[in-house]
Amino acid sequence: MKNDILKKRANEIIKKLALEYPDSKPHLEFNNPFELLISTVLAAQCTDVRVNMTMPPLYKTKYKSPKDILKDGIDNFRQNIKSISFPNSKAKSIIALCRQLVDDFNGQVPKTMEELTKLTGVGRKSASVVLGNCFGKKDVIIVDTHFKRVTTRLGLTENDDPEKIEMDLKEIIPPDEQFKFSLRIGDHGRTICDAKKPKCAECMFNKSCPAAKL
């Protein structure tokens, strides 16, 4: 019974989001799965804006494949990403990830959740980003900070753990809507449902949102 109510509420939210954000796209700049994978790992606890300022020029001139990063070496790579948060630990992760891509996948980014999450630094969120944006997977939920905040405020989940939130939403969002729903929820979190100062008076969900402050 509870799931039926949540599915009905979710369906109404899906329709409103589609009207408000019909053209939602990823905020990281990329030209291929390799670039998006690397940028997604680097974007953890960092802004997409900062990663976009740093990585696209490097992809264009230096890092066109995992072999290029490995050839450049960890010291040079760390120096090149020093403006991104936690460059030391992220450089180690990216080097390990690139080694796995070369050794286990012939330098190619794998196309399944199981294979992607075996890569160093790649969790379900990062894997879902790549699967949805690069490989046309519609049945993926991307639980980033915006998604977590907005779906909790809308009463679609009571969980705090990202994987449990993902499973909760997979039960109430139709598979072919999940990827677009994730992008649109993210846009709503960026433009209206701010972490500190949500614009509830401007929100299309203010009459039904349990967390609305009017």
User: CA 35 to CA 43: how far, in whole Å?
Assistant: 12
User: CA 25 to CA 184: how far, in whole Å?
Assistant: 8
| Cβ-Cβ contacts under 8 Å for 204 (sequence gap 6 or more) | 16, 20
Could you tell me the two tokens for 127?
């894997």
Strand blocks (E) in 32-183: none
Active site (catalytic) residues: 125, 144
Q: What is the SS3 assignment for 45?
A: coil
